[in-house]
Structure formats: structure tokens, C-alpha cells
Structure 1
Amino acid sequence: MIFKDWLLHICLMMFFTEISSQGCSQLHSRLQEMNKGNLALLNNKTGPTIPLQCIDDILNFSPGNGSLATIDVSNEENAKVAIKEIFQQTGLLFKLNHNEMSWDENSISAFLAGLDQQIQNLERCLNASPRSQQVQLTRLRVKRYFQKLSGLLKEKKYSQCSWEIVWIQVKQCFVQISQFIQRIPN
């Protein structure tokens, strides 16, 4: 199992290094591949079942009206900004106290390095003015969503169950990213 994890990490790092050397013309396909890698890693590390003691917490958690589904990604630049902000906020979450996470330090480091590489790739391809009202609203909505997740972790003292909720929500974010990517031309 450890060999399988290391092999996945090495493949992801090689993939991220290779795609960073390409230009913005292939951003759509690169984002799709990166997102598949992120989802594969999350699925590999989180397991297929939810611990029984966490079921009530998971069922009771609701991000409310701050879900990412409310974000307007009707144009390419706003989609890029939303994706970049999700990567940044996910990275911040995974840098928090993760003693109860079932991930080892190498897995966390590899995941964070991949997110950082993806953020750099998106930054090179962003054209929107950082002061655009729509861009700022998108960033704010994503940050609010992740603040709720961070608040949950703090409230539950970074327990295993709070991390289970975060993993479920983060996986949903990466599924949502797949939809956002469709706004970026091939």
C-alpha cells in the first residue's frame, strides 16, 4: 500500500512538472487532467466508507447558501478565478492542524505541492483585472465557503469527523471544478 501511495505521488509530481512547462493554449485539457489527479488522490486517501461515529455530524453539516453552486462562472476568466481560489483555499485547509487526518506527511506534502503548481499555472493564464467586481465576488464566495469548513474544523477541534466532512466537501469542490473547466475553451 505504501508503495502504491508513493508511486501515485511520483506520477502526480512528474505530471505537474510536465504540464507547468506548457503554455496557456492547453489550459482546458491540463486542468481536466490535474483535476482527475486531485480526485484520484482524494478518493485514494479518504476511503470508501464513513466511520459510523461521524454519520450524524456529516448529515447535520450544511454549507448553507454559500455553496459553490451559486458562483457565476458564465465566462472564462471567472471560471479560472474560481478554480484558482478553490485550489488556494483547499491548500490552506490542508495546512491546518491535521493530527486526526489519516494522511501521512508525505501525502499531504505531495497534494499541497500539486495544488501550488496548479495555482501557478492558472496565475500565468489569468487575464481578468483583480479589481473586477465579478472576479472579487467570485473570490469572496469561495473564501466564505472555505471559511465555513475551517470554522467547522476549529469548532470540532480538528476531529476525525470534522476532517471527514471537509474531505467530502473538498471532493465536491473538485467535482464542481470539472463543471467550471467547461467554461474554458479547448
Structure 2
Amino acid sequence: MALLLPLLAAMVVCSYGSVSSLGCDLLHNTALPSRRTFDLLDQMRRVSPFLCLKDRRDFRLPRRLVDSGPSHKVQAMSVVHEMLQQTLSLFHTEHSSAPWSAPLLHELRTELHQQLELLDTCLEQVMVEETSALTAGDPSVALRKYFQRIRLYLEEKKYSDCAWEIVRVEILRAVSSAAKLQERMSHDRE
């Protein structure tokens, strides 16, 4: 955990940017996931992860999607989109409001929703440019299975505070991987 926070901070700083008013170039000008998402997830910490070590689980984040990364911009954006969509869905469950303050949870949901709206616009523009990119495979299937494992875990643990803390740390890791993918795609396009 101690190594995770500096890594997250470095990735966020590298990927932080703003939207270009002349067009949508997600991989160069937009920070998805945003620094605010990382900050909110960090603020949501209520239980020490060290108290929850017995509850740890490997949710098997689809490493091939985020480590090697898709070869097309539209595929990379699809990975980030699915990650954000599934994260938003996870934090919209009725049990998600129990461990955190309502205003903080609302702020996270709003942030994720805004990022998804921007990403939807960007995806439409990029898909026109790269019409054949999604024929290489849909990355969303593996990500949906990953998030289903997280949901089943929460259910199995009866949505305990420790279960939510483990999931919060896992989501930080997943969002961090999405940010790394975005950064890598940005460098590949330069």
C-alpha cells in the first residue's frame, strides 16, 4: 500500500490535463480518469487496509488490457470507458452508501458521470476515424467479468466495511491502470 500511493500520484500528475476546445484528443489533452477521481477515492478511506488483510482477494484485473494495451485509440478509450462505467455502477448500488459519507459518494458519482459524458463525446469522434478498430475484439467483456467478481465478493462478505475497503483499494488500482494505459497510448501516438 505504501508503494501504491506514490505510484498513483505520479501517474495522476503525468495524465492530468484539460479538454481542448478545438476538438477531442483524449490521449493528449484530457485526464481520464481525473485527478479528482483519485482524490475522492483516497478520501473515502474509512478503515485501515491493514485491518482488512484477511479479506484481501485477487479480482484478476484483465492485465492484458491495461499492461500491453489495445493497439488502437478507440480500443484504449473503450477500456477506459468500461472501467469508468463499471466503477460508477458499483458505487451506485444500494449497499455502497453505508460505508461512506453521502456527500463524498455523491461527488465521486458526479465526477465519474462527467468523465463518462466527455468520453462518450470523444469516443464518437474517434470511432469515425478508426472504424475497424473494435473488430479486433471487445475489451468490455473481460472488464465486466472483473467487476462481476468484485460484486460477488461484496455480496459474499455482506458488504462489510472491510470488504468495501478492499474494493476501494482495488478500484484505485484499476483506475490507476487505466491512467497508465492512457499515458502509454499518448506516448505511442507522439
User: TM-score if structure 2 supplies the norm length?
Assistant: 0.74
CA drift at 1:107: 1.1
Alignment RMSD = 2.6
Matched residues in 1 for 2:134 and 2:145: separation? 18
> Does the 8 Å contact 1:89/1:146 carry over to 2?
yes
Aligned to 1:28: 28
Q: Which runs of 5+ in 2 are unaligned?
A: 1-17
Q: 2:64 aligns with which of 67, 70, 77?
A: 70
Matched residues in 1 for 2:88 and 2:34: separation? 14
CA drift at 1:25: 3.2
SS at match of 1:46: coil
Identity over aligned residues, as a percent? Answer: 25
1:69 partner amino acid: R
Q: What do residues 71-92 of structure 1 show as CA deviations (whole Å, max 9, x unaligned)?
A: 1422211110000100000001
User: TM-score if structure 1 supplies the norm length?
Assistant: 0.75
1:94-113 correspondence to structure 2 within 5 Å? 94-96=91-93, 97-101=95-99, 103-113=100-110
Q: 2:77 aligns with which of 77, 80, 83?
A: 80
Matched residues in 2 for 1:20 and 1:116: separation? 19
Aligned to 1:57: 55
Matched residues in 2 for 1:134 and 1:151: separation? 29
The count of residues paired between Structure 1 and Structure 2 equals 161
Q: Structure 1 residues 131 and 70 mapped into 2: Cα distance closer, same or farther (>3 Å)?
A: closer
Matched residues in 1 for 2:44 and 2:20: separation? 25
Q: Which runs of 5+ in 1 are unaligned?
A: 1-17
